[in-house]
Amino acid sequence: MKHALTAVALAATFALPVSAQNLAIVNGKPVPSARVEALAQQLERAGRPVNAEVKAQLKEEVIAREVFVQEAERRGLKASADYRTQLELAAQTILIRELFADFQRKNVVSDADIKAEYDKFTAANGGQEFRTRHILVETEAEAKDIIANIKKGGKFEDLAKKLSKDPGSGANGGDLDWATASTFVPEFSGAMVKLGKGQMTEAPVKSQFGWHIIRVDDVRQAALPPLEELKPQIVQQLQQQKLVEFQEGLRTKAKVQ
């Protein structure tokens, strides 16, 4: 009798995890709890937190899906050509996503890669920043008249609001805010970097946009964010670059007839 009771107790013990794996039984068919976990993981990967309330909603969704799937199967929709085509496309999408995820897991961006990319960023954006104003007009003659007007006491900001054809900066008195020389077209930046604080170009500067009168209001050393602040963006960028190269490599090697 003792052995029989022990056997029953063991059977019950081993049976518990099996029932615990099922969220519900719908029309006699078990619905695995793993489906809820899979949906929760999808939400978390998308950046959405999964709390108890969301988990309860997911459970209801999983049960509803099972109900609808059973009805679709009852109607014979699994045998339709449209279903098979969509199923194949969905399977391809999932498999491709897994391929890319597997590649990224096995090709982690190194600290050396991150540092090298940050160094390129600082080299391109370091140096001086200029707080600049400009007035943009159609002709050289117009630009010369404005320079003469300013030299006689005309206010740069007022003339920019009135005459500049650059609607963005013109409305703000020609203000282009703080920017590095590389932000501007070469003709503009070449003239700008020769000016000291408070100086204006003596002659109009021609670019593809028209004729500029440029004034530098201030100059400072560029303040760049530290590596740790930019690291998440750099990692994401490098991961994407690696993935694109992987994709292009596969396309190049593939024999397509």
pLDDT tens across 35-88, in order?
A: 999 999 989 988 899 999 999 999 999 999 999 999 999 999 999 999 999 999
**134 close to 169: Cβ distance less than 8 angstroms:** yes
Residue 223, pLDDT score: 82
Q: Which DSSP category does 29 fall into?
A: E
User: For the residues 123-140, what does the mean pLDDT come to?
Assistant: 91
Q: Is the pLDDT of residue 14 over 50?
A: no
The Cα–Cα gap between 167 and 174 comes to 9
Residue 137, pLDDT score: 97
Residue 206, pLDDT score: 97
CATH 3.10.50.40 fits 127-221, yes or no: yes
pTM of structure: 0.56
Q: How far is CA 93 from each of CA 90, 222, 252, rounded to the nearest angstrom? A: 5, 45, 20
Residue 20, pLDDT score: 58
Q: Is the pLDDT of residue 110 over 60?
A: yes
Residue 253, pLDDT score: 95
Least confident range from 15-29, 66-80, 99-113, 189-203: namely 15-29
Q: Is the pLDDT of residue 150 over 60?
A: yes
Give the start-to-end residue ranges of the domains of the chain.
Answer: 20-95, 127-221
Residue 232, pLDDT score: 95
| Band of residue 8 on the pLDDT scale cut at 50, 70, 90 | very low
Q: Is 10 helix (H, G, I), strand (E, B) or coil?
A: helix
Residue 182, pLDDT score: 85
Decide which of 91 and 126 is more confident: 91
Q: Where are the alpha helices (DSSP H) in the chain?
A: 2-20, 34-45, 52-74, 81-106, 111-125, 140-151, 156-163, 167-170, 186-192, 227-253
The model's pLDDT over 186-206, given as tens digits with 9 standing for 90+, comes to: 999 999 999 999 999 999 999
Q: Is the pLDDT of residue 222 over 50?
A: yes
Decide which of 257 and 116 is more confident: 116
